[in-house]
Amino acid sequence: MDFLTHWLAFTPIFALPLIAAALGLIINERAGLLNLGAEGIMLCGALVGVIAFIEFDNSPALGFIFAILAGTFLGFCFGFFVVVLRTNQVLTGITFVFLGIGLTGLIGVPWVNKAFSALDPIHIPFLTDIPVIGRFLFGQDIVVYVTFGLAILVWRFLYHTRIGLRLRAVGENPQAADAGGINVEGYRLLAATLGGAFIGLAGGYLSLVIAKIFVEEMTQGRGWIAVALVIFSRWRPWRAVLGGLLFGGIEALIPRLKATGYNIPQYFLEMAPYAVTLAVLIYAAVQMRSGQDAPRALGTPYVREDRK
């Protein structure tokens, strides 16, 4: 019973960076932008969050704000390159991955391996003490609840607002959207910027709450898992939440299994999240043979002069 209780309690914590990053990528891709740079943007958000936390009197709020601002800035930069300068989206995203790795390794040296405690879980009397599910539902930190609220807002933004409808139109048929008076470049740049903010939040949570320390390349492939999670979710926010909890549950299971003392090979446990990612991609490929759920203009640059 203790094993199940602790496993469920830590599942949302490990899931949150994946959910937040996936929400940002969904916003990007619904506008037709293929952003493969989530890994690098998450790393920068993680470092900037730690720097702000340490340098501003151990303030978790400022840590998260600066992590989000870092992601917002990098998301805008990505959008500027691929939308305004029309660089190749795939190569630009991969470049952002290596830029994030190199940049955090270069400027992050003074803040590497400095342990701290930034944010504690909420304790609600009686509710948190409910057996098994109490900590899972009522014993998380405030950012977990805020992020689940943001997932609802993203869903409503994309499907129940005029701006969201136009943004999705840009990702489906930018030529028709442009003919209807929609500023394709403006909406794509907006999507890139908003998506970057969510990815920065994911990085900040990873360093400030999960690891409580910054180390080089600490994302360990979570940005790529978020990319797979978007495909698994079929570009729908609520599915991204469920998929994030699935991946988070697998990641939270690894330290629990190690603590039991069972003789399970370490490398088998470490490869488990990526094996599941591969399985998810295969499942998505089988379920979406024609790619009908993906935005039709995903990854396709739009040049207004070429509109016929």
Please report, for residues 17, 35, 232, 235, 237, the alpha-carbon distance to residue 294 in angstroms, rounded to integers and kept in the order given: 23, 14, 11, 7, 13
Q: Where are the alpha helices (DSSP H) in 180-236?
A: 184-205, 222-232
What are the structural domain ranges in the chain?
16-111+144-301
Contacts of 272 (CB under 8 A, 6+ apart): 250, 253, 254
- Residue 288, pLDDT score: 65
Query: Residue 23 and residue 185: Cα distance in Å, rounded?
Result: 21
**How many other C-beta atoms lie within 10 A of the C-beta of residue 129?**
12
Nearest Cα to 192, choosing from 92, 305, 98?
92
- Residue 302, pLDDT score: 85
Contacts of 247 (CB under 8 A, 6+ apart): 14, 15, 18, 225, 229, 273, 276, 277
- When computed from its CA atoms, the radius of gyration of the chain, rounded to whole angstroms, is 20
Give 116-170 pLDDT, tens digit per residue: 887 888 888 888 888 888 889 999 999 999 999 999 999 999 999 999 999 999 9
- Assess contact for 73 and 213: CB atoms under 8 A: no
- Assess contact for 241 and 21: CB atoms under 8 A: no
CATH (residue range 16-111+144-301) = 1.10.3470
Give 211-259 pLDDT, tens digit per residue: 999 999 999 899 999 999 999 888 999 999 999 999 999 888 888 777 7
Position 190 pLDDT exceeds 90 = yes
Question: Which of 96 and 303 is assigned the larger pLDDT?
Answer: 96
pLDDT band with cut points at 50, 70 and 90 for residue 307: low
- Residue 257, pLDDT score: 79
Among the listed ranges 43-52, 82-91, 143-152, 247-256, which one has the minimum average pLDDT value? 247-256
Nearest Cα to 119, choosing from 64, 71, 70?
64
Distance of CA 253 to the CA centre of its chain: 20
- Residue 276, pLDDT score: 83
Nearest Cα to 99, choosing from 74, 67, 64, 76?
74
pLDDT band with cut points at 50, 70 and 90 for residue 290: low
- Residue 224, pLDDT score: 93
- Residue 289, pLDDT score: 59
